[in-house]
Structure 1
Amino acid sequence: MDAFFKGLGRFIEEKRALVIIASVILLAGAMFGATRLTWATGMETMVNTDSQVYRDYQEFNDYFGADTVIVLTRADGLTELVNLGNVSQVDAIEQQLSGQDGVLSVVGPGFALRQAMAQITGAAVLPPDQATLNAILLDNGEIRPEMRNFFPTDTIGIVIVTMKGGVSQAQIDSLVSSAKAAIADATFTGVQGSVTGASVIFSEMQALMTKSMSTMISISMLLMLVILAVVFSVRGFFAWRWLPLGVVAIGSIYAFGMMGWLSVPITMVSMAILPILIGLGVDYAVQFHNRYDEEARRGETVGEAIIDSVRHIGPAIAIAIIAAALGFVALFISPVPMIRQFGQMLVMGIVACYLVSLFILLPILYIHDRGKAAKTNGNNTKPLAEGRAGLVERGLGKLAPWVIRNPVLIIAIAVLCTVAGVALDGRIPTETDEQKYISQDLPLMKDFNELAQLSGGSAAFSIMIKGTNVTSPGALVWMIDVEGKILSQSAVPVIGASGIADTVAQINQGQIPETQAGIDQALSYVPALLKGNLLTPDNTVANITIRTGPGIGTEQLRELKNVIQNYIDSPPAGVTATVTGEGIIGLEIMNSLTSGRTEMTLLGVALVFVGLFLLFRFNAARALIATLPVAMIIGWSSIVMFLGHIKYTALTATLGSLIIGIGVEFTILIMMRYNEERKKGETPEVAMTTAMTKIGRAVITSGLTVVGGFGALLFARDFPILTDFGAVTMINVGFALVSSLVVLPTIIVAVDRRKLEVIKARAIETTTVK
């Protein structure tokens, strides 16, 4: 390895022009690849598209649609709400939206009034005057119960637009735009309109994500500038300490270019990648820059400093990169697609940042310092003076002896915190509602939450019934029976279970007709817009929608799902029934985030250990010492999350693997520098003190840059999923620094001392025997 990196350093020195030209060419390709990046905000980012749960959900959506857009109208009072002029404007919006591409049905006040007029006059038109409208809608000055679906309060009106199955995001976006335009063009009096619904949220997501990414990138760059200016001290021009940031900006372009070429989309999770990469990438660049500066201060020529910096720090960073990549690879097993994509982006990003640190930063340093040496000395041999130890080095020099003297205290506290964290981990809740990942203070979320409160609950499950004729008397009677059992069960509050069967029964005075002809006649009275949500045109698939009350928890949903499954296990001959819907998707996500999280963490620890075991030439002790201090942080993190009331999400579920991948770099750098000093003949105490003071500054700078990268996530106010993740990860990186500078040194020295004692004892025994 030493010979390889020495040769690599010489190649960078001799072929610097070629290296930079190649980097520029690759940069052009990366910039073009970045233009191919796409956004993903749908259900496919949370659930495996090849899972049976997803296939059932998509099949149901193909038949009945799942994407809905809600138009809310808010009035100053009941008089304005049911004013004929205002209702006519709402009806005009309904008519306009019903002609939109991809729309399955539009049901609102206009639809309800037209149906009522059709029963009275035989013509589906709006009431001709206010008195007729009031007679249809009101009873003793109050909204009639049968009209509460469209007027849930005396100030709110609702129009529900259901999209056909398989519609594209472009069609949804077009509908949302049309709805907003129709509201803007309406001439309401005392009424205001707005558009909401889950589909609207996803439609607005890209704009929100773009805005948040721009904010995070700007903040992360600013934080890096400040951190590097304050902490990272190198020779020469003051601005030279910002060189790592400029290099990493190029590395980020490479990473995003690879994402574009490999068709890895940007999601709510992966949108955090750029600030993270800036932090990690600056970390790697700082390590190379710091070691080059150290070699130059010793009096080496510019060329020697380049070669020795690559030779000494290159292997350590390479091992750290491989270990980090192995930790991130554990994310690939996650059942959640956007977590897997996050892992892919992390691996590509850290590799890109490592390569630019080698092949861009070092050639720039060489060209600059060689030119400076030529001006001052006429050649490339003038040594550069050793600098005075800074505040950080002096502080670490004082910390090292204390750490070495107190192994029992330090290790005991670290282990106790780890055990406590592991015990608390099971008490940390998991957030599976993707809509909660968005700020609830946004106007569109306020509208959505208000709608949920007005409806009194949510459509938890749907039962998809399939058969050659699901409208046969036997099938409809069975459906009615299932609905009754669901409504009467006591496991979970259910406020509604409805489908085509009870609709037919309502038309036939509460009974299912005994003949197919009677059923067909009843079906002919069901409005097409209403029937489209309950039954396919060929009568082969039907839908039962089950609505639960507000505040239903995951365990209750799971229990209700099991109850429903028992009710539908014995359908009539030729009929099959499947439970699907958003509730099933939520349960699937919950399972993925809970079981998958533990597996990812354990796999991350195992992969890092095995990787280091191989890289350290089958030295299990060294691999364990490098891994153990970072693995402890996982327990410490659980304490922070529990005390901070932070839930596990699609992002915080990655914390175990992520912190292993990030933190192991610090332990490897310190361990390898310690070994370098020991090979020079230093005692364990002196070697550790030297290692901590020489590389400690760079490690602390690296840690702070990573903290700064994650700190930028705190400014993504529209996405609590990012702010929570940023806060916890910042603390975890701080833990990684503490573990690397406090826990790791005491373990290394204690183990090394014990090894020396054993060697000395054996030597005494050998001498005695002789």
Structure 2
Amino acid sequence: MSEDAIERFVGGVTGHSRLVLLVMVLLTAGMFGGMAQLDSGSQAGGTTDMFPETTVAEKADYVSEQYSTQDGEQQSAPAMVYVQPASGNALSKDALLGALHYQQAVLDADAVASEIQTDQPTSVANLVASRIAETPDATLDEQITALDAATDSEVASAVRSTLTADSEALALLPRSYEPGTAHAESHRMLFEFTAGEDGQPPSAAQRALYEAASEREGFFTLGEHARAAGSQQLNANTMELVVPFALVSILGILAFAYRDVVDVIVGMIGVGVSIVWMFGILGWLGVSAGMTMIIGPVLIAGLSIDFGFHVFTRYREERGSEETIRAPMARSMRGVALALGLVTVTAAIGFLSNVANPVGSIRDLGIGITLGVIAAFVIFVTLVPALKISIDGLLERVGFDRRNAPLGSGSFLRPLLSSSVTLARKAAPVIVVVALLASAGGAVTWTALDQESFQQQSEPAAEWKQDLPEPMGWDQPAYSQHSRYVQGAYSAVATDASQRFQLLVEGEVTTDGSLDAIAAATDRSVFTDSRSRESLRSPVTVIQSVAATHDGFAETVAAADTDGDGIPDTDLATVYNRLYEVAPEEARQVVERTDGEYRSLRVIGPAESAGMTDDRIDEVRAAATAIEDRGRDLQATAVSQAAVLDSQLDVVTDGIIRVLVLALAAVFVGLVLIFRRVHDSATLGVTTVVPILMVTGLVVGGMYLLDVPLTLVTALLMSLVVGLGIDYNIHISDRFAQELDRGREPVDALRVAVTGTGGALLGSTLTSAGAFVALLLHPHPQLQSFGILVVLTLVTSFLVSVVVLPSLLVLWARHTSAVRTTAQPTTVAAARSDD
């Protein structure tokens, strides 16, 4: 945009403020209409996956498709109900009887009875009661009658006889239980339902289990309805503890920075309208909001607050003691509108670089935030100055003086900010070298960052947070307490292979030695789980178990076993053929035969943990590697929820690096072209980009020092660092260039830029960082990492812009001055020769 166009635009806004307000109010009303059409789902048109597709995920789908149709396992979905009585013994007569009465109540519900795959759940109470009734197939009513009639000692004796060291029922008890005793702190009941389309138990059945458990003391579930209630309580806790602290921080810092309640109100109106416009535009364009619903308002609020600081600070700088409002507002907007425009363009470039991200939801997030940045720019160059003119004009007409000093002009902040200019004048090369080394060192730590799919809360909220006066006191959600207890006390349990660690072995599966490779690789602790309801299942174990009961097949195995270890070594196709003849159901579970060809083998290991991660996945991967190392024609893949999530995190991490490089390259080119066009200096654009590189490296180093892991969430935020880091440096460089154009010497121009614009940046940093610091109050480590990373980015960007960038600008000024000095005699000599 040319200077004449900016002049006309600013003149229109400041000269016709009431008309501008009317137009903006009408447009904002239209944005509310767009919000009504907003698609807040995480997917739109199938283009916005939450997670990227990976090879491991494809292999997991392959296992599900090829083997589920063969053994029918995938049709079952488990639901657990836990019994933890206040008496402390879940194996007492009363506790066991209570469990049976609970089963009786839920089985009377149509939602449960119509979907359960067995006549009754699997639980210790059923096993003990059936033993007492001396009828293994006793009905639930018969079990209740028998248990009710038994004495406490008879029940204890039956418990000890039932729960022996080799009993599969041990999987229904906590790991702390000693087999053969009649005391346990809790136990769980397993309901097996027909799986829905999402692979989960029917929602109505889960609701019936949850509601019945909620009515009984000592009973709980961890299904979707319990989780929803926990999320609702968590949101209430956040609103009552974190949000008030964040609002108090924002308003307190804004009050300190502005020292004027009217400017605080006008600025916050601009923030709110910017967010409304972002969602309104998304609604009208039909772009899925998805993750933008959560992250968008946070980022746009921070950027809008920064825009507001620059608008108000520059206006305060420009307004003289005897001036009215419109003229200084016009002068200030002519200067600041260009800077805001530069920030908008380059921030948009940074955010739009996320279209190269492999995760669809992040691509949509990049689009959404870009629209929010553009919306904030429009609001703060139209609505906010027009509203400021109108309100200040009204207040001054009734006798209020609306002149205020800008932040950074006080006796404390001005010397503090200007000290970086003095330091740059005296030791610019040293500062730049130290900053480059620090950022390079930080960038190197990228490979040392801990990688996790998700951070999980393992400890309850600190007692002091729970002891705060209401309503701020943190009420520990029952779901969180129960979830932590189960994860710590119980071994994982699964009703089908989809909930277990699995190995998919592909390639030449009939090659000699293939089964030996599988047997050797699975002879490790991860595939041995004494509490598992089902032991290791593989082609080797199935072949051995069938051979033990079928003499003809045993002869086939013996003929193919050249070393006598019970594992066929050669002629495996014949062994597989014979296995399919004598035991087709067992064969289909572990050997894939399609169109007469054997294409893959499956190993089914122990149940996977219920959480998002499982440390045992590394050992399962090692088993896959061992198979490939021993069987040269085999390809083995570890398949499980944890494996899929880890592979997706690797893809996201690689995508973040690609996005960062693309963003930095695009910003570099954009700033060079823009500064060449606006300030007639491409090298000034290059100088402005360098601190952004430094911020990226320093933020990575800060993550390493503060033990912030690289998760799917923090990896996403890393892709937005460039967009956040651009803002501060552009404001300083642009103001510096403007002051040079006004005829100031470089050091004086830099001092004005750092104390004037730097004061606005300080206010913006304190406000945004103060809001995100509130996240540290949240007990969940994922939100704490979110807060730490954003605060780290904001503070680092500010410090680099007011400490390192001045030194770079001093060196740039010296270089350009030297170039002009060198060029001047040459020009004179050439002129003289022409004469």
Matches within 5 A, 1:224-263: 224-233=250-259, 238-259=261-282, 262=286
1:223 positional shift: 1.8
Q: State how 1:76-87 maps to structure 2 within 5 Å.
A: 76-77=88-89, 79-80=91-92, 84-87=96-99
Give the deviation of 1:570 after TM superposition: 8.5
| Alignment equivalent of 2:650, drawn from 591, 604, 607 | 591
Measured in 1, the distance between the counterparts of 2:236 and 2:624 equals 37
Deviation (angstroms), 1:274? 2.7
| Shift in Å, 1:701 | 1.3
1:484-523 to structure 2, matched below 5 A, reads 487-489=522-524, 494-495=528-529, 498=536, 511=549, 519=583
Tell me the residue number matched to 2:14.
13
**For structure 1, which segment, 383-392 or 603-612, has the greater mean C-alpha deviation from structure 2 after superposition?**
383-392
The corresponding residue for 2:705 is: 643
Partner residue in 1 for 2:562: none
Question: Would you say how many aligned residue pairs link Structure 1 and Structure 2?
Answer: 728
Q: Does 1:181 align with 2:181?
A: no
Compared CA separation, residues 49 and 72, structure 1 to 2 (3 A) = same
The one-letter code of the counterpart of 1:156 is S
1:358 aligns to 2:381 (yes or no): yes
Unaligned runs of 5+ in 2: 69-73, 178-183, 462-475, 494-498, 554-578, 590-599
SS of residue paired to 1:149:
helix
The one-letter code matched in structure 2 to 1:279 is G
Larger mean Cα displacement after TM superposition, 630-639 or 545-554: 545-554
Q: Look up the equivalent residue of 2:351 and give its one-letter code.
A: F
Alpha-carbon distance change, 555 to 331 in structure 1, aligned in 2, over 3 angstroms: farther
Find the counterpart in structure 2 of residue 404 from structure 1. 425
When the two structures are superposed, what TM-score results if normalisation uses the length of structure 1? 0.80
Partner of 1:264: 288
Shift of 1:647: 0.8
CA 1:360 to 1:521, structure 2 compared with 1: closer, same or farther past 3 Å? closer
Q: Which residue of 2 aligns with 1:536?
A: none
The equivalent position to 1:315 in structure 2, one of 316, 324, 338, is 338
Task: Sort the Cα spacing of 1:217 and 1:281 in 2 relative to 1 into closer, same or farther, 3 A.
Answer: farther
Partner of residue 292, structure 1:
315
Compute the displacement of 1:726 (Å): 1.0
Q: Which residue of 2 aligns with 1:155?
A: 185
Tell me which amino acid in the other structure corresponds to 2:84. R
Q: Which residue of 2 aligns with 1:609?
A: 668
SS of alignment partner, residue 744 of structure 2? coil
Q: In the superposition, relative to structure 1, how do residues 592 and 767 fare at CA in structure 2: closer, same or farther (>3 Å)?
A: same
The aligned residue for residue 813 of structure 2 is 752
Q: Tell me, what secondary structure is at the counterpart of 1:402?
A: helix
How high is the TM-score relative to the length of structure 2? 0.74
| Residue equivalent to 1:674 | 736
Q: Map Cα deviations across residues 280-308 of structure 1 (whole Å, 9 max, x no partner).
A: 21111221222233333376543333433
The equivalent residue for 1:447 is 482
Residue 733 (str. 1) matches residue 794 (str. 2): yes
Aligned to 2:438: 417
AA matched with 2:222: T
Check the 8 A contact 1:47/1:585 in 2, yes or no: no
Gaps of 5+ in 1: 467-473, 524-530, 532-540
Work out which of the residue numbers 746, 753, 756 in structure 2 matches 1:684. 746
Does structure 2 retain, via aligned residues, the 8 Å contact 1:279–1:708? no
1:570-590 CA distance string (max 9 Å, x none) = 99xxxx998643033122223
Q: Which moved more, 1:345-354 or 1:622-631?
A: 345-354
Per-residue deviation, residues 576-606 of structure 1 (Å, max 9, x unmatched)? 9986430331222231243223222222211
Q: CA deviation at 1:194?
A: 1.5
Structure 1 residue identity aligned to 2:325: V
Q: Distance in 2 between matches of 1:712 and 1:214?
A: 12
Determine helix, strand or coil for the equivalent of 1:194: strand
The verdict on how the C-alpha distance between 1:630 and 1:766 changes in structure 2, with shifts beyond 3 A counting, is same
Report if aligned partners of 2:460, 2:481 keep a CA contact under 8 Å in 1. no
Q: Which residue identity is paired with 2:482?
A: D
Alignment match, 1:70: 80
Following superposition, the deviation at residue 624 of structure 1 comes to 1.8
SS across alignment from 1:666: helix
Change (3 A) 1:16 1:625: same
Instruction: Label 1:498 to 1:428 Cα distance change in 2 as closer, same or farther (>3 A).
Output: same
Instruction: Give the 5 Å matches for 1:550-561.
Output: 552=615, 555-561=618-624
1:276 aligned onto 2:290: no
The CA deviation string for residues 517-548 of structure 1, in whole angstroms up to 9 with x for no partner, is 9758999xxxxxxx9xxxxxxxxx99864227
Amino acid at match of 1:145: S
Give the direction of change, closer, same or farther, for the CA distance of 1:552–1:96 in structure 2 (3 Å limit): farther
Residue 592 of structure 2: aligned partner: none
Instruction: Give SS of 2:815's match.
Output: helix
Equivalent residues of 1:220, 1:708 under 8 A apart = yes
Q: Label 1:520 to 1:271 Cα distance change in 2 as closer, same or farther (>3 A).
A: same
Matched position secondary structure for 2:712: coil
- Retained in 1: the 8 A contact 2:117–2:194? yes
Per the alignment, residue 108 of structure 1 pairs with: 122
Q: Distance in 2 between matches of 1:639 and 1:13?
A: 45
- C-alpha deviation, 1:741, in angstroms: 0.7
* SS of match in other structure, 1:732: helix
Counterpart of 1:428?
449
| Closer, same or farther: CA 332–78 of 1 in aligned 2, 3 Å | same
The SS at the match of 1:71 is: strand
Matched residues in 2 for 1:433 and 1:655: separation? 14
SS state at 2:448 partner = coil
Q: Is the 8 A contact 1:73 1:193 kept in 2?
A: yes
Alpha-carbon offset, residue 214 of structure 1: 7.2
Relative to structure 1, the CA distance from residue 674 to residue 724 in structure 2 (aligned partners, 3 Å threshold; closer, same or farther) is: same
Distance in 2 of aligned mates of 1:287 and 1:87: 65
Stretch moving more, 723-732 or 367-376: 367-376
CA contact (8 A) 2:253 2:766 kept: yes
SS of the equivalent of 1:139 reads helix
Q: String of CA shifts for 1:325-371, please: whole Å, max 9, x gaps.
A: 22222333333444444433432332222222122211111222344
Letter in 2 for 1:363: A
- 2: distance between equivalents of 1:136 and 1:49? 52
Please say if residues 626 and 667 of structure 1, whose CA atoms lie closer than 8 Å, have aligned partners that are also in contact: yes
Q: Secondary structure at the match of 1:616?
A: helix
The structural deviation recorded for 1:671 is 0.9
Note the alpha carbon deviations across 1:739-765, whole angstroms, 9 max, x for none: 111111111111111221232133245
Q: Which of 559-568 and 677-686 deviates more? A: 559-568
**Could you tell me how far apart the structure 2 residues matched to 1:675 and 1:180 are?**
65
Q: 5 Å matches for 1:325-474? A: 325-372=348-395, 389-391=409-411, 392-433=413-454, 435=456, 443-456=478-491, 461-462=501-502
- C-alpha distance 566-767 of structure 1, shift in aligned 2 (>3 A): closer
Counting only pairs closer than 5 Å after superposition, residues 86-97 of structure 1 correspond to structure 2 as: 86-92=98-104, 95=107
Question: 1:46 and 1:666, CA in 2 relative to 1: closer, same or farther beyond 3 A?
Answer: same
Give the counterpart of 1:129 among 125, 146, 164: 146
Distance change (3 Å), C-alpha of 1:482 and 1:159:
farther
Instruction: Quote the offset at 1:87 in angstroms.
Output: 3.6
Distance across 1 between alignment mates of 2:196 and 2:246: 39
Larger CA deviation: 737-746 vs 283-292: 283-292
CA contact (8 A) 2:109 2:208 kept: yes
Report the CA distance shift for 1:627/1:555 in structure 2 as closer, same or farther (over 3 A): farther
Selected match of 1:221 from 234, 247, 250: 247
- Inter-CA distance 259–78: structure 2 relative to 1 (3 Å threshold): same
Separation in structure 1 between the aligned mates of residue 706 and residue 818 of structure 2, nearest angstrom: 45
Amino-acid identity (%): 18
Tell me by how many angstroms 1:319 deviates.
Answer: 0.9
Of 89-98 and 357-366, more deviation after overlay is shown by 89-98
Shift in Å, 1:688: 0.8
1:148 Cα deviation from its structure 2 partner: 0.9
* C-alpha distance 484-765 of structure 1, shift in aligned 2 (>3 A): closer
Structure 2 residue aligned with 1:469:
none
Residue 266 of structure 1 and its aligned partner are, at CA, apart by 4.8
Counterpart for residue 534 of structure 1: none
In the alignment, the residues of structure 1 paired with residue 316 and residue 745 of structure 2 have an alpha-carbon distance, to the nearest angstrom, of 26
SS at 1:251's partner residue?
Answer: helix
